[in-house]
Amino acid sequence: MALIALFVGFFLAYANGSNDNFKGVATLFGSGTTNYRRALLWATATTFIGSIAALILAQGLVATFSGKGLVPDAVLMQQSFPSAVALSAAITVILASRLGFPISTTHALTGALVGAGWLASTTGVNLTRLGTHFLLPLLISPGLAILLASAVYPMFRFGREKFGITRESCLCIGQEELQPALSINNASAMATLPAMAAFPALTLGSTTSCQQRYTGSIVGIRAQALLDSAHWLSAAIVSFARGLNDTPKIAALLLVVGAMRPSLTIGFVAIGIALGGLLNARKVATTLAHRVTAMNAGQGFTANLATGLIVIFASRLGLPVSTTHVSCGALFGIGTITRQAHWKTIATILLAWVTTLPLAALFGAGTFFILERFRL
């Protein structure tokens, strides 16, 4: 069972990295600040640092996701329980990653704890603790992120205008081929006309074809250079916060089994998260970077700042908020303010969030049943 726990723990860490690693740097890619590869490497490095820091800064989350208080202690002593929780959560998250849905590993773990706990315990699950320590933070955090991002962005825009910083776009000059719409009765004259005619074209560049740049300076520093530096830093903060918040949740399940010492467990999980992001993050990256809302660098920086602040404070308080819900909520808020939100994609993401918990609970119950039968 210890070997099974190590395997499923690493699988869960890998699944978490594949679905969550890019969330901190999606705005760098989506705003055109950098390309996919550089953004992914930055996310991997800063998330890994956050994962290692969790050994000191996020002990409260280790206690929360061990399941203590949610199910009876006797259930926690069953070695198949944490393995069932980790495996069912991993299956849920990796399935979402393959489909390109950015769901919450926290949500999947909560559903798995409930499903396995209900089957394993004759007294069921402590609903009071489930509501106050798990569901309430998960429900509040995305709304808080929407409000914070929606409030902060107009403030930043006002400050930019006060400093005389303006945005510039571009004009795209080229040729456009059109079918001539002429009425000619002479067949020989018609035959001499080209099938297509080229005409000069002049269009205003969009954020996808011509990225917006900021002109002007603040205290002698070019505004665009200052913003780019702040944007990279904000992405690092979000990725660090994600590693800090998610690593102890996964490590808690391995620590219950006692497979490794705490320091080794954190390192083991950190490596799994890094590999998952490096090898399997592309589909979720595309969804978050390009399908939620169009954005420029300033808007991306604002979303990252709101996300990082909420997740870091939640980690220090031991509250299991979802980095996915917070980061997506911040993007929803920015898209609402700028009126560039892609509501069809947002509706699909919300539907995936709603189905995550019951699906993980179903997997949790089924996995626990199979592992118990195998052990017997």
Task: Report pLDDT digits (tens) over 155-210.
Answer: 878 777 776 776 665 555 555 555 555 555 555 555 554 555 555 655 555 444 45
Q: Quick check: 248 and 61 in contact, CB under 8 A? A: yes
8-12, 163-167, 278-282: lowest mean pLDDT where? 163-167
pLDDT class of 88 with cuts at 50, 70, 90? very high
Give the residue with greater pLDDT, 192 vs 2.
2
Q: Quick check: 351 and 97 in contact, CB under 8 A? A: no
* Amino acid 168: pLDDT: 60
Letter for the amino acid at 298? G
What residue has token string 């396995």?
Answer: 116
Residues 6+ apart with CB under 8 A from 88: 108, 111, 112, 115, 116, 360, 363, 364, 366, 367
Taking 50 as the threshold, does the pLDDT of residue 19 lie above it?
A: yes
Taking 80 as the threshold, does the pLDDT of residue 260 lie above it?
A: no
Query: Counting Cβ atoms within 10 Å, is residue 271 exposed (0-12), middle (13-18) or buried (19+)?
Result: middle
What residue has token string 């489909």?
Answer: 99
30-39, 184-193, 321-330: lowest mean pLDDT where? 184-193
Highest-confidence segment of 19-33, 50-64, 127-141, 321-335: 19-33
pLDDT class of 233 with cuts at 50, 70, 90? very high
Q: Which two tokens stand for residue 113?
A: 């704890």
pTM: 0.77
Q: Is 173 helix (H, G, I), strand (E, B) or coil?
A: strand
Residues 78-87, mean pLDDT to the nearest whole number: 82
* Amino acid 209: pLDDT: 42
How confident is the prediction for the chain on average, in pLDDT?
Answer: 79
Q: Is 195 helix (H, G, I), strand (E, B) or coil?
A: coil
* Amino acid 276: pLDDT: 94
Q: Residue 312 and residue 68: Cα distance in Å, rounded?
A: 23
Nearest to 269 by CA among 251, 290, 242: 251
63-77, 132-146, 310-324: lowest mean pLDDT where? 63-77
CA angle 99, 84, 114 (to 5 degrees): 85
Taking 80 as the threshold, does the pLDDT of residue 10 lie above it?
A: yes
Query: Counting Cβ atoms within 10 Å, is residue 141 exposed (0-12), middle (13-18) or buried (19+)?
Result: buried
Q: Residue 254 and residue 15: Cα distance in Å, rounded?
A: 16
Residues 283-305, mean pLDDT to the nearest whole number: 90
